[in-house]
Amino acid sequence: MARDRRPPPPAGHGADWDRTMRLFQAGSPEFVDAIRLRVNAAALATFAETWFTDARVEARRLLFAYLERPFNSPRHEPLVKRLFKFADTAGDDAVMARFLTGFDRTIRRRRAPKERYNYRRREYERYEAVVTPGDTALSRDDRSYSGPWFAQNREQFVAGKFLFSVPTRNYLRRRAWRYFRRLGRKNPDRYVPAVCTALKLYTDADVPDGLSLLDNWGLVHVLFHHSPTILAKPTGWVVAPGASLAKLQPDPMFRKLWLRSPEPIFDLLVSARARPVSMWAMQMLRRHFPERLTKLTLDELLAWVISPNTVLNELALEVLETRGGLESVTVEQWLKLMDGARTELLDRICDMVARTVKPEQVTFADAAKLAMQRPVPLARLGFTFLQGKKPRTPDELAAVFGLRNAEAEPLRVEMVKWATTVLSERPDFDPLWVLEFLDSRFEEVREIGWEWLQTDARARDAVLVWQRLLESPYDNVRLRLVGMLEDRAKERDGLAKFSPERVRFLWATVLLNVSRGSRAKPFVVRQIIDRLAANPDEAGELLPIVAVALRSVRGPEFRAGLAGVAGFVERNPTRKPLVEAVFPELQWN
């Protein structure tokens, strides 16, 4: 067979590469994911110029999206480095802004314990040092980038790793900042807009703590270059001796360029995604442009209160608390504000509402809705508005009953007591209303319901209420009912007014309760024996309960119960076979 002497295809060609190029030509967003999976360094290096010089809007958008991703795609060093050189040479501020941010993200130092030998003490001493992990660079072993394992575990493989060695990354981020430093000196009109583009790309994930803030080489230069609190070292920023990051104040490079106008700083305050950038902008405005903050409209401030930007939240509340005109804010606006604000801000917002909103401006429904909220400040405010009102309509009456399920636990008891008072004062009072509270899922609400039952004669003397309570699933209600039946048995009608089936259900549930009810069980034994003596026809239903009862008590109660059974047989000899069947352990003479 003749040997195939055709030259091999150019590097990078293949089905996957061709598909990636088709996505690029189509401007598809899928291209960014596809190009990040390509690992042919030679093909990527050649493609860099094609990509950068492509004048299409789609190509530009894809380039931005690629550079805003982490620089951790294996074998992409040539592509990243060439794109960086092209942008630097061309003076492309927007692309260089993304390189400034991207290279800042590639180094994250950490604090680690170390040891050093003390020659005077002749012993090792432990101390904490800031170090740069050396295992953050991606391996260049081509075998790691192919095969099914890499395809399935790529994210795990690149997690926490970046392109280039640590010294190279230090060089690249210094080089990126040098571009903007040169821009500020030679083209000052472009400097502030260019660095603002970069500052808006940083996120809170880039600055989770003080050390991470200092790891952003370019960011710190832009915002704090002249600050005496920090020092620039070849490996990164460090805190100056005797200083603290808590004292770090805005001191930017090219300060005079920033002081030309407040608008770029104000734009950063509103648009920045990293809290340190927003804080810097707020401090700059307060120090150099305080009049700009006085121009804020009420609508802007209200919108800032529910913004995801925490700096805007704090600034808006501070301004709202000191300025007038809040009387013009409608109740609907306040409700929307409280519904969307962060929980930790609710105390301050509710204080403003309480000072500016009159109770008569708030409807019963809105007050009840607030009172039912889980955050305590909202519930307290709603309850304050609610206390001066009376339910007029069926919906308002239902809202009062709804307070038994109030979410704010610290206020629930107080609100439920108010609800029972309001309901008791109504001319159309229904004794069955007490059951709504005695059937609550919250024990403290059932306690208030029981107190209401005992103090309101209309509910306490309603037989229907007691009959319904006999089926209560709650121990703290059932056990008290046994004592109530003991008292009612002494009355003329005894227990005749109560349904026998429900009374037997109550007795059985108390006796079968293993963990609770020991004090009530002797009463149950006595009640069953008395019922059995008065109603011998119920022996079939009551004797099994007596058997359980006698096994649930000891001492005098057991002997009294046993004597009661014996007395029942003596008075009703025809029932002896039934008693022997239920109590096979008893011997009769």
Segment 24-39, tens digit of pLDDT: 999 999 999 999 988 8
Segment 325-362, tens digit of pLDDT: 788 888 888 888 888 888 888 899 898 888 888 888 88
Whether residues 40 and 188 fall in one domain: no
Structural domain contains residue 469: no
Host domain of residue 18: 11-90
Number of domains in the chain: 3
Structural domain contains residue 218: yes
Whether residues 120 and 45 fall in one domain: no
- Prediction pTM value: 0.72
Distance CA 307, CA 342 (A): 9
- For residue 65, give both structure tokens: 């999206």
Distance CA 361, CA 300 (A): 24
Structural domain contains residue 302: no
Which range of 143-157, 204-218, 522-536 scores highest in mean pLDDT? It is 204-218
Structural domain contains residue 468: no
Whether residues 119 and 67 fall in one domain: no
pLDDT band at 587; cut points 50, 70, 90: low
Q: Which of 90, 119, 145 is the last residue of a domain?
A: 90
Structural domain contains residue 96: no
Structural domain contains residue 410: no
Whether residues 498 and 560 fall in one domain: yes
Residue 236 pLDDT > 70: yes
- For residue 464, give both structure tokens: 């229907």
Whether residues 138 and 75 fall in one domain: no
Residue 167 pLDDT > 80: yes
Whether residues 39 and 176 fall in one domain: no
Q: What angle do CA 560, 564, 568 make, to 5 degrees?
A: 170
Whether residues 75 and 157 fall in one domain: no
Whether residues 156 and 265 fall in one domain: yes
Whether residues 268 and 130 fall in one domain: yes
First to last CA, the chain: 116
- For residue 85, give both structure tokens: 């050189």
pLDDT band at 189; cut points 50, 70, 90: very high
Structural domain contains residue 287: no
Residues present in the chain in total: 589
Q: Which of 57, 90, 123 is the last residue of a domain?
A: 90
The residue-averaged pLDDT of 479-498 equals: 56
Whether residues 39 and 162 fall in one domain: no
Whether residues 85 and 232 fall in one domain: no
Segment 422-434, tens digit of pLDDT: 999 999 999 889 8
Q: How many CB atoms lie under 10 A from the CB of residue 134?
A: 8
Half-sphere exposure of 435 (CA within 13 A, CB side): 15
Structural domain contains residue 366: no
Whether residues 505 and 589 fall in one domain: yes
Distance CA 379, CA 375 (A): 6
